[in-house]
Amino acid sequence: MTVLEIITITAGLGGLVALAGVAVLSRLRTLRAMVVLVVVVAVLATLAGVVAGIFKMAIEGSARDTVLGVVAVGGLVGLAVAAMLARRVVAESGRLAQAVRASDYVAPQGLPAELQVIADALEESYARERSLEGARRELVAWVSHDLRTPLAGMRAMVEALEDGVVTDPATVSRYHAQIRVEVERLSAMVDDLFELSRIHAGTLKLSRARVGLADLVADTIDQTEPLARAKGVRLAVSAEPIPIEADAGALGRALGNLVVNAIRYTPSDGVVELRAFQDEDAVCVSVRDACGGIPEKDLERVFDVAFRGESARTPGKDGGAGLGLAIAQGIVEAHQGAIGVVNDGPGCRFDIRLPLRG
C-alpha cells in the first residue's frame, strides 16, 4: 500500500472514467450537456482516487468520511457552477441564434469573446451580401434600361423600313447603318456583362504566359488608334520592353477600356498619354488624359459596376454602360495587381500596378 500503488490505481480508474467521458462527449450535441459532463468526469476521477485509497486502507475511519464528504461537497459545488456556466453559454449562444434568425441582423454586443468574433464576422458578411445584392439589383435595372433604349430605337427603324414608311435611299441606308451601330454596341455590352459575371463568380480563368509589356501596349494602341483619330485626339506612347507573366487577352482588354475612356473624355486636340515602365518590383501602366479632372466625390466610385459620371442615364451617342472600369479592375486584381485613379494635370491618370514575377 505504497503511495505509488495508490497513484497507479487512481490513474487507471481516472483513465477509464476519462475514456468513458470522451466517448459520451462525442455523442453530446448541446453545450449545456458538455459542460456538465466535464464536471461529472472531474468529480468521478477524483472519487476514483479516494476509492483506491479506501481499498488500500490508506484512508480509514473518520478520515475516510471526511474525504468522502469533501469530495461530495466539491462535486456538488462543481455541478452547480457547471450548471450556471452552461446556462450562461446557452443563453449567450441563444442570443446570437436569435439575432441571426431576425430578418435584419445586427451583431449582439457583450458576448463572450469567441462568440463575439463569430457575431462580428457575421455582421460583416451580412453587410457585404446586402451591398452586393443592392449593386446587383441596380445593375439589372440600369442595364435593362440601357438595353431597352437602343432596342426601342431599332424596333422603330426596322418597322419603318418594313412598312415602307421610309423609302428614300439616303434615309434607308442611314437607318441600316444606325441599326448596325446599335447592334454592335449591344453585343459589346452583352460581352461586357458576361465578362463581369465571370469575374464576380470567380470563374475568370487567366491563361498566363510570358508577354512583352511594350507589345501589349502596342496592340492596345493599334486597336484604339482609329477611335483617337476620329475624335482628333493624339496618343503619346512610351513603353519599356519588360517581360511579364500575364493573360495578354484579358490585360489588353483592361488597358483598352482605360484608353477608350481616356479618348472618350478628352476633347479633340487633346493628348492621351500611355506610359509603361518598371517601378521597383512592379510594372506600371498609366493612362493620362485631358478630361478636365473627375469630381472628387466620383473618384472612389468610378470602378463601381454601372457607375457613370453623368446624372442622366440616357445613353448618348458613345455613352457606355459603366462596366468598363469594373471589368478592368476585376482583371487587374485577378493578376494580383491594383488599379487606381488620381486627378493629374489637365485630366486624370489611371494607374495599373502589377507585381513583377520571378
Ligand X SMILES: Nc1ncnc2c1ncn2[C@@H]1O[C@H](COP(=O)(O)OP(=O)(O)OP(=O)(O)O)[C@@H](O)[C@H]1O
If one asks whether residue 320 binds Mg ion (CB under 5 A), the answer comes out as yes
Residue from 39, 250, 262, 352 binding ligand X (CB under 6 A): 262
Residue from 276, 302, 331, 354 binding ligand X (CB under 6 A): 302
Taking the C-alpha atoms of residue 227 and residue 233, their distance in angstroms, rounded to an integer, is: 8
If one asks whether residue 324 binds ligand X (CB under 6 A), the answer comes out as yes
If one asks whether residue 270 binds ligand X (CB under 6 A), the answer comes out as no
Site string for Mg ion, 247-286 (x = CB under 5 A): --------------x-------------------------
Residue from 46, 224, 261, 286 binding ligand X (CB under 6 A): 261
Smallest distance, Mg ion to C-beta of residue 128, A = 26
The window from 21-29, 123-131, 242-250, 286-294 that contacts ligand X (CB under 6 A) reads 286-294
CA distances in angstroms from 305 to 287, 311, 332, listed in the order given: 20, 15, 15
For residue 192, give the H/E element and its range: helix 169-201
C-alpha cell at 295: 469630381
Smallest distance, Mg ion to C-beta of residue 320, A = 5
* Residue least distant from Mg ion (Cβ): 324
How many helices and strands, by DSSP H and E, does the chain display? 9, 7
Taking the C-alpha atoms of residue 109 and residue 313, their distance in angstroms, rounded to an integer, is: 43
If one asks whether residue 253 binds ligand X (CB under 6 A), the answer comes out as no
Smallest distance, Mg ion to C-beta of residue 264, A = 7
The window from 273-281, 296-304, 305-313, 322-330 that contacts Mg ion (CB under 5 A) reads 322-330
If one asks whether residue 307 binds ligand X (CB under 6 A), the answer comes out as yes
What DSSP string runs through 153-191?
A: HHHHHHHHHHTTS--SHHHHHHHHHHHHHHHHHHHHHHH
Through-space distance between the first and last CA atoms of the chain, rounded to whole angstroms: 71
Residue from 48, 331, 348, 354 binding ligand X (CB under 6 A): 348
- Do residues 305 and 141 touch, judged by C-beta distance below 8 A? no
What's 106's DSSP letter?
-
Residue 195, binding choice from ligand X, Mg ion, none, Cβ under 5 to 8 Å by partner class: none
The window from 71-79, 86-94, 194-202, 324-332 that contacts ligand X (CB under 6 A) reads 324-332
Q: Who contacts 21 (Cβ-Cβ below 8 Å, separation ≥6)? A: 37, 38, 40, 41, 44
Taking the C-alpha atoms of residue 341 and residue 326, their distance in angstroms, rounded to an integer, is: 13
Residue from 111, 224, 233, 308 binding ligand X (CB under 6 A): 308
Taking the C-alpha atoms of residue 81 and residue 279, their distance in angstroms, rounded to an integer, is: 63
Where do contacts with ligand X occur on this chain (CB under 6 A)? 192, 257, 261-262, 265, 289, 291, 294, 302, 307-309, 320-326, 348
